[in-house]
Amino acid sequence: MSRAWLIGAGPGDAELITVKAMRALAQADVVLVDDLVNPEILDMARADAQIVHVGKRGGSASTPQDEIIATMLAHLGAGRSVARLKGGDPFVFGRGGEELLALRAAGIQVEIVSGITAGIAAPATLGIPVTHRGMAQGAIFVTGHSAGEQEPDWRALAATGLTLVIYMGMRRLDDIVDALLRAEMPAATPCAAIESATLPGQRQTLASLEALPAEVRRMGLGSPAILVIGSVAALASYTQAAAAPGRSLAVGIGCRRGVTVEQIEAAVLPALAPHTMADVACVATLDSKADEPGLVAFCERHRLRLTTFSAKEVQECFARDSSGSSGSSGSSLRGSEVVQEWAGVPGVCEPCALLASPGGTLVRGKRATDAVTVAIAASSAEHGTHRALPRVQV
């Protein structure tokens, strides 16, 4: 009796294919393969197997699905065994269900060989778990390719608070982001875009939801790619090419009492871009904030040292910069005014960042979000003195 396999080839890296898939490929007379399958995987097919390329690549000309099914049935009808080889998993945006039903209707024995889907493997390359206790209790896999009547309900998806993993969404990225923002998803929501995941040519970027389309265009990212939208993207642990080697970052934070770790995450990640948490050496703040639960939890989550400074040290930093001794930008903020700001969202993130990075440079001035201010300084052998504080705003 003719036999068929629906095989998932995994996300790209040939070593991520399963042993069961390798064994099936070694038996099949005919292999119908999609464009996204790594060519190295075809080396696992039987030496005399017939290889049939059937397209199926997002954004490119594809072999019609009816033609693929007809080809499979023709080979099976001639007594040949057929392996249908798909990128990722055959049942995750692979139309494997349609092929299974057609083969069953023809009385063909079918074996499903699952593969690792890119929606899990791509984030994992950056250390992003699609679920994480305290951050995301679940993940939703959704296609970004459809529009019109088949458009996903982005408002309903945004309301879940779960991680959104979007396949085939690069061409419609602006529309997707606009829809999520209209659905009141926070503009600062951490996001990742990952192109050609698990392959040597993999590229990626991190950005806030609001900044994601512009950052993707800046990086020149394209398909095939996976988009990850949700707080878990803040856990990314790779060093992007834009991050200078040998430079450690200090993140200065000012915050109100009762700030949550989620508020801090949403403030810090966009401020870091194009760097990531992997480039951060420490978090710096006032000593009066050392026991703030949200701040402590943030440092524990990212395994960062929390460095604190006294009000006197911060005042001296402001005094030094406003004196013009370090190339001041003209700030004339006096110590008494600084103290007054501590009653609200303090303007102390910049001096704290610089104090935690002796001899460094302020690479990100104060950014204010809900209940949190963030500034970033970098230690570098190239800079003997730090850049003066540009100004302090509340």
Co-location of 32 and 137 in the same domain: no
Co-location of 78 and 151 in the same domain: no
Task: For residue 8, give the CATH number of its domain.
Answer: 3.40.1010.10
- Residue 100 has a pLDDT of 96
List, for residues 338-354, the tens digit of each pLDDT value: 333 433 445 788 899 98
Co-location of 262 and 368 in the same domain: yes
Instruction: Indicate the pTM of the whole model.
Output: 0.64
Split at pLDDT 50, 70, 90, the class of 331 is very low
Q: Which residues pair with 4 in a beta bridge?
A: 82, 110
Residue 388 has pLDDT above 60, yes or no: no
* Cα-based torsion angle of the residue sequence 291, 292, 296, 298 in order, rounded to the nearest 10 degrees: -170
DSSP state of 287: G
Residue 261 has pLDDT above 60, yes or no: yes
Judged by average pLDDT, the poorest of 35-39, 108-112, 342-346 is 342-346
- Residue 312 has a pLDDT of 85
- Residue 339 has a pLDDT of 34
Residue 327 has pLDDT above 70, yes or no: no
- Residue 359 has a pLDDT of 74
Co-location of 167 and 153 in the same domain: yes
**244: in domain:** no
Split at pLDDT 50, 70, 90, the class of 324 is very low
Last residue of a domain, one of 67, 101, 116: 116
- Residue 394 has a pLDDT of 24
Split at pLDDT 50, 70, 90, the class of 363 is confident
Last residue of a domain, one of 116, 135, 156: 116
Residue 56 φ then ψ, to 5°: 70, 65
Residue 330 has pLDDT above 70, yes or no: no
Give start and end residues of each alpha helix (H) in the chain.
19-25, 65-77, 96-105, 118-125, 154-160, 173-182, 212-219, 261-272, 293-302, 311-322, 335-341, 349-355
Co-location of 101 and 166 in the same domain: no
Residues of the chain above pLDDT 70, percent = 83
First to last CA, the chain: 76
Task: For residue 353, give the CATH number of its domain.
Answer: 3.30.420.180
For 367: left if phi > 0, alpha if psi spans -120 to 50, otherwise beta; the answer is beta
Identify the active-site residue in 44, 135, 168, 170: 168
Higher pLDDT, 169 or 270: 169
Identify the active-site residue in 13, 29, 44, 56: 56
**387: in domain:** no
Residue 329 has pLDDT above 80, yes or no: no
Residue 42 φ then ψ, to 5°: -65, -20
Alpha carbon distance 367, 269 (integer Å)? 11
Q: Are strands 280-286 and 225-229 parallel, antiparallel or unpaired?
A: unpaired
Residue 102 has pLDDT above 60, yes or no: yes
Task: For residue 131, give the CATH number of its domain.
Answer: 3.30.950.10
Residue 385 has pLDDT above 60, yes or no: no
Residue 389 has pLDDT above 70, yes or no: no
The answer to whether the beta carbons of residues 63 and 56 sit under 8 Å apart is yes
Identify the active-site residue in 13, 29, 34, 321: 34
Q: Are strands 249-255 and 280-286 parallel, antiparallel or unpaired?
A: parallel
Last residue of a domain, one of 207, 235, 263: 235
Judged by average pLDDT, the poorest of 34-48, 116-130, 292-306 is 292-306
**What average pLDDT does this structure show over 107-120?**
96
Question: Which residue from 205, 160, 151, 204 is spatially nearest to 178, judged by alpha carbons?
Answer: 151
Residue 381 has pLDDT above 50, yes or no: no
Co-location of 369 and 255 in the same domain: yes
**What average pLDDT does this structure show over 83-101?**
95
**383: in domain:** no
- Residue 301 has a pLDDT of 81
List, for residues 204-254, the tens digit of each pLDDT value: 999 999 999 998 998 888 999 999 999 999 888 643 433 334 447 899 999
- Residue 174 has a pLDDT of 95
DSSP string covering 54-118, please?
A: ----TTS----HHHHHHHHHHHHHTT--EEEEESB-TTSSS-HHHHHHHHHHTT-EEEEE----H
- Residue 75 has a pLDDT of 96
Residue with tokens 């001035």: 365
**What average pLDDT does this structure show over 252-268?**
90
Domain that holds residue 331: 249-378
- Residue 69 has a pLDDT of 95
**394: in domain:** no
Question: Which residue from 214, 222, 352 is spatially nearest to 273, judged by alpha carbons?
Answer: 214
At 289, is the secondary structure helix, strand, or coil? helix
Q: Active-site residue 34, yes or no?
A: yes
Instruction: Report residue 288 as tokens.
Output: 């009066």
For residue 237, the tally of other CB atoms under 10 A from its CB is 12
Alpha carbon distance 8, 94 (integer Å)? 9
Split at pLDDT 50, 70, 90, the class of 278 is confident
Name the domain count of the chain: 3
Co-location of 128 and 211 in the same domain: yes
- Residue 164 has a pLDDT of 98
